[in-house]
A and B are shown apart, each in its own frame.
Chain A
Amino acid sequence: MGFGDTSYDVAHVLGGGMLLISFVLLYQRRIFALVNALALQGVVLALAAAWQGHVQGAPQLYITAVIALAAKGVLIPIYLRRLVMQLPPARRAEPASGIGASMIAGFLLVGLSILVVLPATAGARALAREDLAIALSVVLLGLLMMVTRRTALAQIAGLMTLENGLVLAAVGVAGMPLVVELSTAGLVLVIAVIAGVFARVLHERFDSLDTSVLDPHRGEGT
């Protein structure tokens, strides 16, 4: 399997699409656009899972695809949009800062994950190892997003793309037991709900979704 082989090329296009959307998430400052990009990434993830199910002849991956589509493409974005609607308009964007720096850091992380994964996986199939490199890039970009963004919603979005990267890695491994994927998807839902509750509590208490209002309460105080 290599370039020119349809199954390989399509998997690559879908994985690459997820990586591109990760970069969109990295710079996007308007919260609605952020939620839309997250939904799009969920849909691409569902396609990637379905394609892997087709290539590997593994019908259980279609279930993973349906779960990804329903939860990450539809339900969670709708929930997040409703949460955002309750905010005053002034809070629906966050001050842009460090976009250039975070993009450069993002490129470096992608380079890093390719340098780490490709030599380490010399024995595995080409599709599996390159999928793994892309998935690790998505995971690391999610981490970067959680580090650089200030608002609670953007940090949740970072956690969710990180999660998307994990599912992409899991579907790339032929014969991965389904139990992990199912429970992962279930847990993401739980996590999102908890995060939503947190956002609500923060909002009630501080009238803000910016986690920096929590900083004075960090550590031991005086």
Chain B
Amino acid sequence: MTLWLILVPALAAALCAALPARAAQLNILASGVTLLLALLLLGEPAGGGWLRADALNTPFVLIAAIVGFGTAVFSAQDIAGDGFDTRQNRAYHAAFQGFMAAHFLALLADNLGVMWVAIEAGTLACVLMVALHRTPAAIEAAWKFFILCGVGIALALFGLIVLALAAQPVAGHAEGQLSYTALRALAPRADAGLLNLAFIFLLVGFGTKAGLAPLHSWLPDAHAEGPTPIAAVLSGLLLNAAMLGILRGKSIVAAHPEAIPPGPFLIVMGLVTLLLAGFSLWRRRDAKRLFGWSSIEHMGITAIAFGVGGVAGHMAGLLHLWGHSLVKSAAFFAVGRAVRIKGAQHMAAIGGLATSHPALGWGLALAMAALAGLPPFSLFASELLLATAMGREAPWLLPLLIFGLLVAGTALLHAMQRLCFGLPTPQPAPMEAGLATLLPLWGHLVLAMILGVALPGPLAAMLLEAARALT
């Protein structure tokens, strides 16, 4: 089953490249099959081998499949409005499915080296898609994305090499040196100094890709200049894969009693990211960049949650990742469609959406309220869980966390008023929101609401299992 999760998107990528005329439909079909496979995976017992679905990565696989399917549906309508020629159409859809294949490989691979390669391959696919519009701004965004993530991923590889060096004296066979399962078992007997060194590089390296300060500046541009569906999968999937990389490094290092505990590093990086993004959110004028900065903010919150640790902290982090992926992709669907309708990406040009397009405008308003951390969405639940966990573990940092959440939340609510309410701004030509946008938008919102109001039993058990696997 795990192998099919990678093969299906990989085959679909080849098919999309061969049949550009049918690529959009193929894209939806393949993403639907992938979602089914991910659901079937839940029923299977945790397997062994080089691809394994364990307690930690199963939630990541499931959310990736859900967001991937929603994005494929949205993309069919959105990309039609981009005016791509056959070559661009071919490249876009092949890169989309190629990215999905790489992403599932990154999540499922037990060997950290394979995971690294898969994240790099997924990033390259995204770079291509960001550059697809060929405008100077898109090229600048793709160049920055490529260079900064190239540096980040190189530092992460250095961290992996140091990790292998640490495991070398105690690993029985060569493959054990980079296998996550083997490394976790070996870590208590490995050299503490090397583990510390490895974690710093893994944190900065994968942190670049996860959008954590100080190497976050590629993220808003890449989200704003590429096609909108790419912004949705970047925020919903790529950032999660990078976070999983950090989590794996953390759980290996934390297994050694004498290594420096990794939690405080994550908390500091997360707090700096949260505060920086919170203030930056107030100064945005571009609608898609606004949501890019909001992704940075939420990855900061997640990093804090994983840094606080314990079952409650990890649970808050995982739930937050889920909620963020769902709601952020929904927000991008809505704002992407709004940009199409109004013909401009400036926040000043988009206004009164709730009056002119009620279903779309209210969807966007709800998504932004959810991102601001308001109930009844799951982001509220996870932020509350985080605040209580932090109140127990590190109460003196709680005011900073709450201050950051408030600054960012009010900025988003302020932007929500400007985008959704008030007098409708003129639009170049009448255009409906369209079902291909509304269905995934409201579907994601309803899911996020269910997660926030009453977390279904099996889902709660899955997240709890993953949180336990980390502690």
Q: A and B from one assembly?
A: yes
Stretch with Cβ within 8 A of B (4 or more), from A18-26, A76-84, A101-109, A167-175: A167-175
The answer to whether A180 touches B193, judged by C-beta atoms less than 8 angstroms apart, is no
CB B330 to nearest CB in A, in angstroms, measures 23
With a cutoff of 8 Å between Cβ atoms, the chain A residues found around residue B116 in the complex are 180
The answer to whether A201 touches B139, judged by C-beta atoms less than 8 angstroms apart, is yes
Q: Identify which of residues 17-73 in chain B touch chain A, using a CB-to-CB cut-off of 8 Å.
A: none
The answer to whether B194 touches A121, judged by C-beta atoms less than 8 angstroms apart, is yes
The answer to whether B140 touches A218, judged by C-beta atoms less than 8 angstroms apart, is yes
Residues 121-136 of chain B, each 1 if its beta carbon lies under 8 Å from chain A, else 0:
1001001100100111
The answer to whether A205 touches B146, judged by C-beta atoms less than 8 angstroms apart, is no
With a cutoff of 8 Å between Cβ atoms, the chain B residues found around residue A174 in the complex are 168
- Looking at chain B's contact residues, the main secondary structure is helix
Per the bound structure, the CA–CA distance linking A174 and B165 in Å amounts to 8
CB A60 to nearest CB in B, in angstroms, measures 9
With a cutoff of 8 Å between Cβ atoms, the chain B residues found around residue A218 in the complex are 140, 144, 221
With a cutoff of 8 Å between Cβ atoms, the chain A residues found around residue B175 in the complex are 177
The answer to whether residues A179 and B139 also contact, given A121-B197, A219-B221 and a CB cut-off of 8 A, is: no
Per the bound structure, the CA–CA distance linking A17 and B275 in Å amounts to 44
In the complex, B184 has a CB within 8 A of chain A: no
Range for the number of chain A residues in contact with chain B? 35 or more
The answer to whether residues A195 and B117 also contact, given A169-B161, A177-B175 and a CB cut-off of 8 A, is: no
Which listed residue (B113, B137, B158, B191) contacts A136, Cβ 8 A? Answer: B158
With a cutoff of 8 Å between Cβ atoms, the chain B residues found around residue A206 in the complex are 136
CB A88 to nearest CB in B, in angstroms, measures 21
Stretch with Cβ within 8 A of A (4 or more), from B283-291, B403-411, B433-441: B283-291
The answer to whether B165 touches A128, judged by C-beta atoms less than 8 angstroms apart, is yes
In the complex, B111 has a CB within 8 A of chain A: yes
Which listed residue (B111, B146, B162, B220) contacts A194, Cβ 8 A? Answer: B146
Total B residues in contact with A, Cβ cutoff 8 Å: 51
Which listed residue (B139, B146, B174) contacts A202, Cβ 8 A? Answer: B139
The answer to whether B161 touches A166, judged by C-beta atoms less than 8 angstroms apart, is yes
The answer to whether residues A166 and B154 also contact, given A177-B177, A198-B146, A205-B136 and a CB cut-off of 8 A, is: yes
Per the bound structure, the CA–CA distance linking A194 and B169 in Å amounts to 39
- Known interface pairs A139-B158, A173-B168, A177-B164; 7 further A-B residue pairs with C-beta atoms within 8 A, sorted by A's residue number: A124-B169, A159-B150, A166-B158, A174-B168, A180-B157, A217-B135, A218-B144
Q: Which residues of B contact A (CB under 8 A)?
A: 111, 113-114, 116-117, 120-121, 124, 127-128, 131, 134-137, 139-140, 142-144, 146-147, 150-151, 154-155, 157-158, 160-162, 164-165, 168-169, 171, 174-175, 177-178, 191, 193-194, 196-197, 220-221, 284-286, 289
Q: 21 A-B pairs, CB-CB below 8 angstroms?
A: A117-B197, A120-B197, A121-B191, A121-B194, A132-B162, A132-B165, A146-B151, A165-B158, A176-B174, A176-B178, A179-B113, A187-B117, A198-B131, A198-B146, A201-B139, A214-B136, A214-B139, A217-B135, A217-B139, A218-B144, A220-B289
